Amino acid sequence: MTIRCYTMTAGSALGLAAMLATGNAQAIEASVSGQVNRAIVLADDGEDTNSAFVDNQNSNSRFRFTGSAEMVPGIRAGILAEFSMVTGSSSAFSIDGQDDGFGFGRRHMDAFFSGDFGTARLGQGSGAADGGVEVDLSGTSVVQWVGASDIGGGVNFRDQDDEFGPTIGTVTNSFDFESRYQRIRYDSPAFGPLSLAGSFGKKGGAGDDTTELALRYNADFAGVGRLGAALGYSNRSIGGDIGSVETVGGSISFLHDTGFNVTLSYAQIEDDNELDADNTYIKIGYTTGVHSVALDYGVTSDLGAEGDSEWFGLGYVWRPIGWAELYAGGKIHSHDDVGDQSFDDITIVTTGTRLRF
């Protein structure tokens, strides 16, 4: 028995050695990762208050599988499959209820090929300009950022008769191009801090032709700080009276070595019908590495209803270790009078945690 065991083991060892010795073996790596981002939100619309346990849509809970291998010398092929897992979306939270549903969301289902030529991606994923108005080095984006409607987007403004008016989500928008959809995308190799990207795809149930272009700049100036910036353009052909929806915009964020930082964002959207709106955002903050705090202000003009919808807020994030963030923030949304309607301000307070696993 003992001799048979040794024979089997030795045979396996010799077989494995033979396999490894014949050369051209491929190294294949696959990885699993994810995060959970949960928060408590409290809102006051000037008449009523409500609170809820939510999944923070600034960066929702998710998990992903990635893998890559050398396909031919100089070209790597890989996959990215990422799914959100959300219970109680913070963007659907409202004064008269909460979204208690659970659902998996399709974020990325991408095949990619990369090499000296750059990276080509095919599948469900970000368009070339996605994130172009969201560049942010402040460290507080998990609780406050240009996408203000991601927390409390379902809360309605109340008029002087306590009637429900538009929701925060219908009058506030960062206009961050076309987000994720079925597309083919190309990212150029980096030219120093600069890189270019373009994509073409089909978005929505009708398969609207969607084209995006973007220019990105990410530079680290030794002894000074970091500068991140992006410019983007998107065109989605919806047809009918709407025609094409065009979005132009960009953002820039500077983080000085002392920890002071400033972030600016602007985007404009228009179609062939009546849509002509824009969004402006500014954030000023300070970060020490484990502590980050910032003040922000934003205004969306002429979206959903006449007039401007503004918000300003304060956010704080504590990052005691690389995989954990605890945060708290407060903001006040207001909307211009529309005709004979004047709206009360909405106050929203959020506290929560994002943990990577």
Partner 1 sequence: MNHVTCRAVLLSCLTVLLAACAGDRFEYTPVGEMDDGPGMFTGESGEAVFSLRREPGTASHDGGAEGDYEEFLEYSAFREWQNDPERADEHREFRLWQEWREQRSER
User: Would you tell me which residues interact with partner 1 (CB under 8 A)?
Assistant: 2-3, 6, 9-10, 12-13, 15-17, 19-20, 22, 24-35, 58-59, 62, 64, 66, 126, 130-131, 134-136, 141, 145, 190-194, 215-222, 226-229, 231, 248-250, 252, 266, 268, 278, 321-324, 355-357
What is the token pair recorded at 89?
């979306």
**Dihedrals phi, psi of 123, to nearest 5 degrees:** 140, -160
Which of residues 20 and 205 has its CB atom nearest to partner 1 in the complex? 20
- Nearer to partner 1 (CB atom), residue 23 or residue 339: 23
What stretches of 162-244 show up as alpha helix (H) in DSSP? Answer: 168-171
Least Å distance, CB 58 to partner 1, is: 8
> For residue 175, is it left (φ>0), alpha (ψ between -120 and 50) or beta?
left
Nearest to 174 by CA among 210, 144, 200: 144
Closer of 263 and 347 to partner 1 (Cβ): 263
Nearer to partner 1, 23 or 240 (CB): 23
d(CA 37, CA 270): 33
Closest CA to 351 of 312, 315, 322: 315
Query: Any idea how long the chain is?
Result: 357
Closest CB 192 distance from partner 1, rounded Å: 5
Minimum distance, C-beta of residue 14 to partner 1, in the bound complex (Å): 9
Nearer to partner 1, 42 or 231 (CB): 231
The least CB distance from residue 195 to partner 1, in Å, is: 8
* Identity of the residue, 152 or 228, whose beta carbon is nearer to partner 1 in the bound complex: 228
CB atoms within 10 A of CB 127: 29
**Whole-number minimum distance, CB 126 to partner 1, in Å?**
8
Smallest gap from Cβ 53 to partner 1, in A, equals: 21
- Provide the 3-class DSSP secondary structure of residue 2: helix
d(CA 196, CA 322): 30
- Report the alpha-carbon distance of residue 280 to residue 310 in Å, rounded: 10
Return d(Cα 279, Cα 198) in angstroms, integer.
23
Indicate the residue among 192 and 339 with the shorter CB distance to partner 1: 192
Q: Name the β-bridge partners of 124.
A: 109, 182
Give dist(CA 105, CA 345) in Å, integer: 32
Please report how close the Cβ of residue 63 comes to partner 1 at its closest, in angstroms. Answer: 10
